[in-house]
Structure 1
Amino acid sequence: MSAQNTHSLLCHPASPCAGVFAVEVAANLDAHGDLALCYRLGAAPAALRLPAPRPPAFADGLWQHTCCELFVAVDAEKYREFNFSPSGEWAVYDFAGYRERIDSAISVAPQISLVQADAAVELRVLIPAALLPGGAALQVGLTAVLEAADGSKTYWALAHAAAQPDFHLRQSFTLTLKAS
């Protein structure tokens, strides 16, 4: 994971978790517009409840368990939400405004892989340019929902803009990614 493009996520104060020490995300947008993400969950794999591996496919409701997410602004109102499960499943949702979901026309899928170590879990994602809005820079929110072994959940983001976790708030899209 490149330290230069690595960003630490903060646990929402309403959902503290003693079993996770840190969540970091490396994000790199290449010259072709593809986005590579590496979510590093600094916890022993036994501390996290990870979904069982499944064939890569669209699945709804992934945020109900351990799930890494990406929010990308399309314009002043519209945005796209990506969900990446350690199972290998994924979801993409489009919104016309705050939580106003609209139909998505998705023709390609992100690529997801999971690497487990003694003190961390890494979820690696490659998002093809065709899934991202065009332009020289992307305004994004990096987030994660982590389910502990006991079933409790914690909510991690670059910034939290409300008293309760809410990744859809535009104020949490705090990172600008530019093509390298």
Structure 2
Amino acid sequence: MAVLTCHPAHPPALVRSVEFRIIGFDANWLRARWKIVGCGKLSVPPFAGKGRADGLWQTTCFELFLQSPDGPAYTEINLSPSERWNVYDFTQRREGMSERPMPREPECTMRLGSDMAIFDAAIPAGGLPAPPWRYGATAVIEEEGGVKSYWALSHTGDAPDFHDPACFLEEVAAPSPA
């Protein structure tokens, strides 16, 4: 489990913590979970049906950045509680962006309780770059009144920047057999 930290320039209203963990990785799926504690004012985008979409970071969404230890290229996975998603490849930090082909759509589920929310995602492993990776797990959390907080493993600048390679802190090895 990794505890994400909120960027100090964008404090949340009620959210007290965001945690991330990879709950499974095999030849078919990378399964990830984000847990939000203090979700009483969480704004969840309405169901929009599966499909690619841009700009998911403009409201509550969950992101995962994967980077090979061999170079500056990385993959960004954006997942929304609306069930919209997108996956991008970058040749280096914020440059050379292109949509990454995926063999099928990710599966996403959001469960809301009175104080805790869980967002689970299953990402098709066949559409991901070959491991091993360093990863950065992030979340944009919007609460009532348009309050947005930006959560990551690390923050290095005056403004949130999830693309900063200094935020790709955790490592993932090759998947287990299916």
2:58 alignment counterpart: 64
Matched residue, 2:98:
103
Q: For 1:2-21, what aligned pairs fall within 5 Å after superposition? A: 6-21=1-16
Question: What is the identity percentage for the equivalent residue pairs of Structure 1 and Structure 2?
Answer: 36
CA distance in 2, matches of 1:164, 1:102: 21
Which ranges in structure 2 are unaligned for 5 or more consecutive residues? none
Q: Which residue number in structure 2 is paired with residue 36 of structure 1?
A: 31
Ranges in structure 1 where 5+ consecutive residues have no aligned partner: 1-5
CA distance in 1, matches of 2:28, 2:91: 23
1:19 and 1:10 map into 2 onto residues whose CA distance is 14
Separation in 1 of the partners of 2:71 and 2:24?
21
CA distance in 2 between partners of 1:138 and 1:157 (Å): 17
Q: Distance in 1 between matches of 2:28 and 2:113?
A: 30
What does residue 82 of structure 2 align with? Answer: 87
- My pick for the range that moved more, 107-116 or 81-90, is 107-116
The 2-side partners of 1:94 and 1:31 are apart by: 21
| Partner in structure 2 of residue 151 of structure 1 | 146
Residue deviations 1:101-149, cap 9 Å, x none? 33234132211111111111111001111121113x2210000001111
For the residue of structure 2 that corresponds to 1:171, the secondary structure is: helix
TM-score after normalising by structure 1? 0.90
Aligned residue in 1 for 2:117: 121
Q: Deviations over 1:32-87 (max 9, x none)?
A: 2631111111123x411110112111111000000110011144111111111111
CA RMSD of aligned residues (A): 1.5
Question: Which stretch of the first structure deviates more once superposed, 31-40 or 76-85?
Answer: 31-40
Alignment: residue pair count: 173
